[in-house]
Chain A
Amino acid sequence: MVTSQLTPEALLPAGAPVTLLAADGRPVPVDDLDLPDDEVLLALYRMMVHGRRFDVQATALTKQGRLAVYPSARGQEACQIGAVHALREQDWLFPTYRDSMAVAARGVDPVQVLTLLRGEWHSGYDPYRHRVAPQCTPLATNALHAVGLARAAVIKGEDTVALVMLGDGATSEGDTHEALNFAAVWHAPVVFLVQNNGYAISVPLAKQTAAPSLAAKGVGYGMPGIVVDGNDAAAVYAVVRRAVTAAAAGAGPVLIEALTYRMEAHTNADDASRYRSREEVDSWLARDPVTRLRDYLGGRGLLSAGARAELDAEAEAAAAQLRQRMQAEVRRDPADLFRHVYAEPPPALRRQQQELAAELAAFEEAGVRDDSDR
């Protein structure tokens, strides 16, 4: 029994990735997709400048010992900012550990974004405040959460779309398969955005899949797959926006694959030169997503040198503020260990908390330095 109303051909991605701005910033006409408004493009540019500066700052903080680790997304600004900006206020974002820029772009305080990587707590922000799920470290598990949340929204009669971010490596996980399948069967308002940066840490895509493209997998679930130029913020925004609008109107889920590249290593602890050639990295540096949008806006006379400098200064000031706030020592309270395990701590857990408190009190009495109030 064929359940999809669309033919397999209609669900397959087009031959070439959707591009609205070429690498040199020249607009590329596309039949069924308009270039976003100038206002949107200027907002995207501003957010990307901020996003990149935030990302560079976070990597620097690892070198100062202020962050335990940071997985950079430099080079993936168009994907993260383009997608987040395409969401409406009532929509939800389900990010991974590499999507800090996206989380910050959604309005979450950057210090709270970094709570996890600072080693302070597993997540630092209230998911309900900006409708951003905790950044997910296990791969692809967040895709199922997005599908469930979206399905619940339909049950409750709410107009909400869930956007889940995945990497190319995560598409090999079973949960990606289950999430795509559940979303399609349930016709749930979910947008799957795969940021295909070519590598799962060191493993190239060729060792990850034999599919013609990751978006092509959509047809197997009965949902459309779209490949977009992931370094073209205009295209990512337009494609995600269209998918969000369609999903909200009841058209079901969409699988979007954004072709991009992480300019940095997997994290500050990784050495990407062991698996990527200098030539390859250079070829992608030449396709910088921030430069691309800047060149377009500059060429159109929408972004003067003065305005650019002003934006750069603004991002620099935000980074300085973040740097300064991150100098504060992490507040530690050993009692936090026992809070929020259950709604009410069971008696045995209360006893363990008392044991730890007694142990610390004994240390203090013995004159052992107690730095728990750092």
Chain B
Amino acid sequence: MTAIAEHDQDVAAGRADAAGQAEAAGQAVTMAAALNLALRDALTTDDSVLVFGEDVGTLGGVFRVTDGLAAAFGPTRVFDTPLAESGIVGTAIGMAMNGLRPVVEMQFDAFAYPAFEQITSHLAKIRNRTKGRVEMPIVIRIPYGGGIGGVEHHCDSSEAYYTHTPGLRVVTPGTAADAYGLLREAIESPDPVIFLEPKRRYWTKEILWREDRTPLDRAVVRRPGADVTLIAYGGALGTALEAADAAETEGRSVEVIDLRSLSPFDDETVTASVRRTGRAIVVHEASRFCGYGAEVAARVSEQCFHYLEAPVLRVAGFDIPYPPPSLEEYHLPSVDRILDAIERLQWQDTAAALRAAS
């Protein structure tokens, strides 16, 4: 090993220790650092885990999520690939066939589209095609969503493309602790996992415990409330929580659910909440039409109809291509827009009163 390589390794080890020590000391870490720690721990625990993609090696990823990993684990375990997303996912599939557990990065949401055929026609289907003989324990990490002033093709919310594909698990952490716990579970899962990382929450901090794993298929009540359920995930979770606090001051008790797992969908947690509150709103950045919220609204309506005091509403992005940074604040679901939706939940009228009046 050269002196420079040794130096790099020391530096990387130092950085690793920083996140690890913060965790041990009960200090808050960012979501990006939590993801880095999860990758590091998975690489340490399981020799079959590999991390590769564009710029994930020497640079440590454009968001520094893989910072120091190449130096710590060497170029066989953590490496840069040619700039070709179908190639990254396609070769990961071949590696998984041969017993490895690749964790690959697509640099940005919209840059994952060249890999779409490999993901939908092969990754999602090989278990089924081979009657369970060939497993695909692959994690595809995709930084997604807006709110960071990104230019064109850097801010897509592409979750519905993946959730509409049977065979894939699709998860998205809203907090640093879940980022760690979900990524560890995703890497250990025998199913392929699309791991959507909300860019705007990369730098939010939270205390995490490495012992705490986040199950791959469970939503969580982030904030309890009695009057209305906000169903959110990923980048919009923070906005939903802020809106809940604001509504509280106006006398509305708002429950916030963080879905975490977009597929499979945790019907149990969501319907239990909506049956209690009788009102529900789905919040996401993605376009409304045929968006993920449409499925949530339909499921909740089908399963909670007799408990609902109002239609399930959606607060979502407009049905437009993702706007340029100068206009993105008008597009993204905001606290005000969520508060407006809460006010539209038929608080005065009841169905019986309406029937009597007609």
B268 to chain A: which residues have CB within 8 Å?
Answer: 347
Binds B, one of A8-16, A37-45, A123-131, A293-301: A123-131
B76 to chain A: which residues have CB within 8 Å?
Answer: 155
Query: Are B90 and A175 in contact (CB-based, < 8 A)?
Result: yes
Tally of contact residues, A, Cβ under 8 A = 41
A141-B90, A151-B91 are contacts. A127–B130 as well, Cβ < 8 Å? yes
Bin chain B's interface residue count. Answer: 35 or more
A346-B264, A347-B264 are contacts. A341–B94 as well, Cβ < 8 Å? no
B44 to chain A: which residues have CB within 8 Å?
Answer: none
Digitize B62-97: 1 where CB-to-A-CB distance is under 8 Å, 0 elsewhere.
000000000000001000011010110111111111
Closest chain B CB from A279 CB (angstroms):
39
A152-B100, A339-B132, A340-B127 are contacts. A144–B191 as well, Cβ < 8 Å? no
B129 adjacent to chain A (CB < 8 Å): yes
Give the complex CA separation of A162 and B100 in angstroms: 16
Query: Are A175 and B86 in contact (CB-based, < 8 A)?
Result: yes
A95 adjacent to chain B (CB < 8 Å): no
Query: Are B127 and A341 in contact (CB-based, < 8 A)?
Result: yes
B98 to chain A: which residues have CB within 8 Å?
Answer: 148-149, 152-153, 156, 160
Digitize B157-174: 1 where CB-to-A-CB distance is under 8 Å, 0 elsewhere.
000000000110100000
Query: Are A339 and B84 in contact (CB-based, < 8 A)?
Result: no
Query: Are B90 and A126 in contact (CB-based, < 8 A)?
Result: no
Give the complex CA separation of A349 and B168 in angstroms: 13
B205 to chain A: which residues have CB within 8 Å?
Answer: none
A231 adjacent to chain B (CB < 8 Å): no
Query: Are A342 and B267 in contact (CB-based, < 8 A)?
Result: no
B265 adjacent to chain A (CB < 8 Å): yes
Query: Are B265 and A343 in contact (CB-based, < 8 A)?
Result: no
**30 A-B pairs, CB-CB below 8 angstroms?**
A121-B129, A121-B131, A138-B122, A144-B93, A145-B90, A145-B93, A147-B91, A148-B90, A148-B94, A148-B95, A148-B97, A149-B94, A149-B95, A150-B94, A151-B95, A174-B114, A175-B86, A175-B90, A175-B118, A179-B90, A339-B131, A340-B130, A341-B167, A342-B127, A342-B191, A343-B132, A343-B135, A343-B191, A347-B268, A348-B267
- 4 A-B pairs with the lowest CB-CB distances in the bound complex, closest first: A148-B94, A144-B90, A148-B91, A346-B264
- Residue positions of A touching B, CB distance < 8 A: 121-123, 126-128, 133-134, 138, 141, 143-153, 155-156, 160, 162, 174-175, 178-179, 181-182, 185, 339-343, 346-349
A-B contacts besides A145-B90, A346-B217, 11 pairs, CB < 8 Å: A121-B129, A123-B131, A128-B133, A144-B89, A144-B93, A148-B93, A148-B96, A153-B98, A181-B84, A347-B264, A349-B264
